[in-house]
Amino acid sequence: MAFHGLPAFVFPLLLVFTLSSMSSKTMVAGARILLETNSFPQVPQLPKPELPPLPTFPTLPKPQLPQLPKPELPQLPKPELPQLPKPELPQLPKPELPTLPKPELPTLPKPELPTVPHVPTLPKPEDLKLAEEPHVPELPKPELPPLPKP
């Protein structure tokens, strides 16, 4: 049995989309021909409509509200709160921590390093000389002919 990954209606839609995209080129070519021939139909100019002016309304004065007197509130005496006595806390003795003896670390013996064997020094040879560089002859600088001025 074969397994189809896409539903069956996708393939006809794909075919219709492909064919419609192929036929759209003729529309573009037709539009280009119309633009190149400059044969646009003449559209008559319509007169711009004018609106009648809006009527003017008379301005009315703003109504004034009567001034109201500010209400005065009577002053009330401040209530006095009774003073509460401060509670006294009993003094607690400070806790003392027991002293612990200092731990002593055991002493370890110092490690002994092995001795390096004695390497005899070689006498410096005086007969050897550095290799001399080969002599390179100096060449004269090439001179170019002057360019003609235009």
| Structure-model confidence comparison of residues 89 and 128, the more confident one | 89
Nearest to 31 by CA among 43, 42, 19, 39: 39
Residue 128 has which token pair?
A: 């050897």
Q: How confident is the model at residue 130, as a pLDDT?
A: 67
- Position 25 scores a pLDDT of 57
Q: What is the pLDDT of residue 1?
A: 52
d(CA 4, CA 10): 11
Residue 133 CA to residue 114 CA, distance in Å, equals 47
| 9-42 pLDDT tens trace | 788 888 888 887 776 555 667 777 777 887 667 7
Q: What is residue 33's predicted lDDT score, i.e. its pLDDT?
A: 79
Is pLDDT at 117 greater than 70 in this prediction? yes
* Residue pLDDT, tens place only, 36-76: 887 667 788 889 989 999 888 888 888 888 888 888 888 88
Q: Tell me the whole-structure pTM to 2 decimals.
A: 0.17
Q: What is the pLDDT of residue 57?
A: 87
3-state SS assignment for residue 77: coil
The average confidence (pLDDT) of the chain is 82
The answer on pLDDT for 105 being more than 70 is yes
